[in-house]
Amino acid sequence: MTHSIGANDARSALTAVRHSRQQVIAEIDMPRWYWLGLAAGWFGMGVVSDFGPGWLALSVVPLFGAAHAAVAGKVLSGRKRSSQLSVRAELAGTHIPALVIGFLIALVGITIAIALLVNADGARHPATIAGAFAAVIVALGGPQLMAAVRRRAARRAGP
């Protein structure tokens, strides 16, 4: 039994497939709370370093790292922006964790450099200032990094 499809029906079906593909690609992301929590933690580490006792300043970095490791394992793939949909790894790409970790490692270097420069300039609270810069970079740059990942996925998926 053959079933022929008209040109209009075929175009309509292809349009629906493209639209659905774009909706799935739009789900490649990390939850907004991840970036905001990371930014708040980074700023908090700066504040604790400047205003807290030395033992707390030494403790907060590994505690923050451990908390991040616990959370990152669940969201770092970029495949579960929400609980409604999980994007296939082939579509999202397996490079997202490496990109995010690389971004964070670079940010550690930037934070240290800013703190040293601000301290050399004579500012009173260099860690807080550097933490604030890093928090802004995380809050704005993290979502931009994921937008680039989505653009790449859209190019790979084709028209």
Tens-place pLDDT, residues 101-115: 999 999 999 999 999
Q: Which amino acid is at 40?
A: A
pTM: 0.76
CA distances from 94 to 3, 89, 115, 139, 156 (A): 40, 6, 33, 23, 13
Tell me which of 14-18, 58-62, 145-149 is least confident: 14-18
Give residue limits of the domains in the chain: 7-157
Span 115-135, mean pLDDT? 95
Q: Which band of pLDDT confidence, cut at 50, 70 and 90, is reported for residue 119?
A: very high
Q: What is the dihedral of CA 106, 111, 116, 117, to 10 degrees?
A: 90
From the number of C-beta atoms within 10 Å of its C-beta (0-12, 13-18, 19+), residue 153 rates as: buried
In this predicted model, what pLDDT tens digit does every residue of 36-91 receive, in sequence order?
A: 999 999 999 999 999 999 999 899 989 998 998 888 877 776 566 556 656 666 66
